[in-house]
C-alpha cells in the first residue's frame, strides 16, 4: 500500500557483536535477508543509526545493515572512549560482516563522518565493495582542520574568538578535557561552546546553546565527538586521498550542498575528480543538512540502486 513508505521499518535481525576491547557493537538488519547488502555508516563521530535510514533503499530488494559505532547509540558501554579509534571502527565493520556471514560484495552508504568511514573501509577492502553512496563528504584531513576555525572565523569571528580566548588557543584539547571530566559544569561549558559550534556554522542567526543539563546520550555524543576531534580523527593529514587510487574502479554517487560550512564542497569535488566512475550531484542549498539535500539524497540513491 502507498502509505507503507511512511512507516518506520522494523529489523528482521538485531543484537550485539561479541565484546571486543570492552565494547559491544549494536547492529540491526532491515529488508530482504537474501538481498544485496547495503552497509550504513552513521555520522558524528558520536551519532547513531536510525531505522528510518533504511528507507533510502528498496527493502524488498536490498539487505540494509546498520550498526552503532563504539560508545554510540545502543552500543555498550555508552560514551566509552577507551579503545575507540577510527581503526577500531573499521575493524568492527569487518567483524560485523563476518558475524553476519556476508561474503558477497557490499554497497557502502555514508553521510558526513559516515562517508569518511565508508571511504576508508573501501580503501582497505576494495575487492569487497560494489558501490559507494556518499553525502556531505567529510575527509577529516588537513584542509578540514584548517577550515574548521581558520575558515569559519571569516563568517563567525565572534564565536571562534570566544572559544580561542577561553581555551588559550587550544580549542580541541581544552574542550575535550572538559567534556571527559566528571564535573557537570565543565561538561556543560564544552557542550555549550565547541559542542554547539557545528550548529552555529551555516546559521544566518547563530548563537551558542544554553544547555542546562546533558542527558546520558547527549553527553556520550559530545564526548565521542570531542575525543575524535582532539586526536585529528586518528588519521594522518590526507589518508583518504593518498589512497584513493585503490578504489578508482568502484562506482560512486556523491551528493553535497553547494554551501556547507562544516564539510565544504571541495572535499566532495576532490573525491569525484579522483574516482573516474563517480557522479557528483551538487544541491543548490545551504548548510550541512537541509530538506532539499535529504530529498536529493533519497532520489539519487534510489536511482543508483534500481
Distance (Å, whole) CA 303 – CA 251: 13
Q: How many CB atoms lie within 10 A of CB 204?
A: 6
Distance (Å, whole) CA 189 – CA 130: 44
Element (H, E) at 292: helix 291-304
* Nine-digit cell string for 191: 557542550
Contact by Cβ (8 Å): 227, 173 = no
In angstroms, the Cα distances linking 83 to 42, 191, 304 are 19, 23, 36
For residue 27, give every residue at least 6 positions away whose Cβ sits within 8 Å of its Cβ, in sequence order, or none.
14, 15, 16, 17, 65, 66, 67, 68, 96, 100
Could you say which of 23, 193, 227, 288 is catalytic? 288
Map grid coordinates 570531542 to a residue: 226
Map grid coordinates 572559544 to a residue: 163
Annotation says 23 is catalytic: no
Map grid coordinates 559507494 to a residue: 132
Annotation says 288 is catalytic: yes
Backbone phi, psi, residue 131, to 5°: -160, 155
Could you say which of 48, 112, 115, 278 is catalytic? 112
Annotation says 256 is catalytic: no
Could you say which of 260, 270, 272, 278 is catalytic? 260
Residues known to be catalytic: 112, 260, 288
Amino acid at each position: 500500500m502507498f502509505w507503507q513508505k511512511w512507516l518506520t521499518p522494523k529489523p528482521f535481525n538485531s543484537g550485539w557483536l561479541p565484546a571486543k576491547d570492552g565494547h559491544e557493537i549494536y547492529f540491526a538488519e532491515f529488508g530482504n535477508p537474501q538481498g544485496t547488502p547495503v552497509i550504513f555508516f552513521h555520522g558524528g563521530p558520536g551519532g547513531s543509526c536510525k531505522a528510518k535510514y533504511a528507507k533510502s533503499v528498496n527493502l524488498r530488494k536490498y539487505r540494509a545493515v546498520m550498526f552503532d559505532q563504539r560508545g554510540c547509540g545502543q552500543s555498550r558501554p555508552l560514551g566509552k572512549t577507551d579503545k575507540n579509534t577510527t581503526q577500531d571502527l573499521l575493524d568492527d565493520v569487518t567483524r560485523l560482516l563476518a558475524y553476519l556471514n556476508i561474503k558477497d560484495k557490499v554497497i557502502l552508504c555514508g553521510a558526513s563522518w559516515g562517508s569518511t568511514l565508508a571511504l576508508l573501509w573501501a580503501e582497505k577492502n576494495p575487492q569487497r565493495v560494489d558501490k559507494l553512496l556518499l553525502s556531505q563528504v567529510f575527509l577529516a584531513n588537513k584542509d578540514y582542520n584548517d577550515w574548521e576555525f581558520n575558515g569559519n572565523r571569516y563568517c563567525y569571528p565572534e564565536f571562534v574568538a570566544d572559544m580561542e580566548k577561553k581555551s588559550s588557543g587550544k580549542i580541541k584539547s581544552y574542550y575535550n578535557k572538559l567534556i571527559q571530566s566528571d564535573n557537570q559544569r565543565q561538561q556543560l561549558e564544552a557542550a555549550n561552546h565547541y559542542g554547539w559550534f557545528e550548529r552555529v556554522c551555516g546559521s544566518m542567526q547563530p548563537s551558542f546553546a544554553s544547555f542546562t543539563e546533558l542527558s546520558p546520550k547527549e553527553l556520550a555524543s559530545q564526548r565521542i565527538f570531542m575525543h575524535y576531534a582532539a586526536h585529528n580523527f586518528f588519521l594522518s593529514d590526507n589518508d583518504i586521498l593518498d589512497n584513493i587510487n585503490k578504489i578508482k574502479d568502484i562506482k560512486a554517487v556523491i551528493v553535497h550542498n553547494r554551501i556547507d560550512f562544516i564539510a565544504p564542497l571541495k572535499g566532495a569535488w576532490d573525491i569525484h575528480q579522483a574516482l573516474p566512475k563517480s557522479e557528483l550531484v551538487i544541491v543548490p542549498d545551504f548548510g550541512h543538512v537541509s530538506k532539499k539535500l535529504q530529498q536529493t539524497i533519497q532520489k539519487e540513491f534510489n536511482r543508483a540502486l534500481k
